[in-house]
Amino acid sequence: MLATLQTPAVLREAAPRKVVAKLGAQRGMLHSVETGAAADGPGVRFVYFFAGCPLRCAYCHNPDTWRFAAGRAVTIDEAIEEVRPYVKFLRMTGGVTVSGGEPLAQRAFVGQLLKRIHDEFGLHTALDTQGYLGANVSDEWLESVDLVLLDIKHIDTTHYRELTGVELAPTLAFARRLARLNKSVWIRYVLVPGITDGPEHIVRLADFLLELGPIVKRVDVLPFHQLGAHKWKSLNLDYKLSGVKPPSAAKVAEAVQILRERGLPAE
């Protein structure tokens, strides 16, 4: 099946560099926010979804976030005002997550935002990322991040490239760097029937995660779904997974069991 998932070159186009340069640290492109998210880090979260992403994942459920033009321009102060009404509640129940798209595609702006939220409000912060652009941020940038939600799409280099349009190595390098920095990580792995559910690949993923040591606090096995299929259609994109059904509960349980047997905190 993977051979049919070659992402068209037009969809693999990276984020426009000239737009990134114009945005800088004081202005970003915000796609949307969610005020009561329960699956984007510990507790109840306020989530910023930023526009722009260099990956073109075959199962992406938010292709509307790929391009910067899909967002609205905001200043740092404007972004801060979006979360301010919820600060007291978030201190007690959760925190703030930056997601996307890929938030590291706007690293200067997102870095400033995280620092202000972390320093001024004292809120728990989480970075939801694929890690592909991790080399572009400094260790100092990561100091304002309490938790990284790292999405590893596939552990095989060839399959990863076919599935996302980019290379796997930068993501693995970023994970190893997080281990060096002793930064807490939740791993996310989407289980797609016939693509990412092979037991041999899950074992390889487990072996890699074990190399990272105790920073891996949780591994979420997320069942593939079709909830974003209508977005592909509305954007006139060729959605090659339209015939793929979500994995059975038994298949998800099998993947979780493999990870747990290797000593990982899988759910």
Q: Show contacts of 35-42: CB within 8 Å, 24+ apart.
A: 35/86, 37/97, 40/97, 40/99, 40/126, 40/128, 40/149, 41/94, 41/95, 41/97, 41/124, 41/126, 41/128, 41/147, 41/149, 41/186, 42/94, 42/95, 42/124, 42/126, 42/147
For the cut 90, the answer to whether the pLDDT of residue 10 exceeds it is no
Domain limits of the chain?
A: 2-261
CB contact burial 73-82 (16+ within 10 A = b; e otherwise)? ebebeebbee
pLDDT at 22: 52
Q: pTM of the predicted model, to two decimals? A: 0.92
Q: Which amino acid is at 8?
A: P
CATH number of 2-261: 3.20.20.70
User: Quick count: other Cβ atoms within 10 Å of Cβ 221?
Assistant: 24
Percent of the chain scoring above 90 in pLDDT = 89
End-to-end CA distance of the chain: 27
The pLDDT > 70 percentage for the chain reads: 91
Length of the chain, in residues: 267
Asked if residue 22 lies in contact with residue 118, where contact means CB atoms within 8 angstroms, the answer is no
Q: What integer is the mean pLDDT of 252-261?
A: 98
**Over the chain, what is the mean pLDDT?**
92
Q: For residue 232, what are its two tokens?
A: 């592909």
Residue 71, Cβ density class (10 Å: 0-12 exposed, 13-18 middle, ≥19 buried): buried
Q: Which of 192, 248, 223 is nearest to 57 (CA)?
A: 192
CA distances from 31 to 53, 71, 156 (A): 12, 4, 31
CB–CB of 158/49 below 8 Å? no
If you average pLDDT over residues 4-29, what whole number do you get?
Answer: 52
Least confident of 16-20, 94-98, 108-112, 239-243: 16-20
Does residue 63 contact residue 228 with C-beta atoms inside 8 Å?
yes
Contact call for residues 24 and 110 (beta carbons, < 8 A): no
Q: What's the pLDDT score for residue 120?
A: 96
pLDDT tier for residue 18 given thresholds of 50, 70 and 90: very low
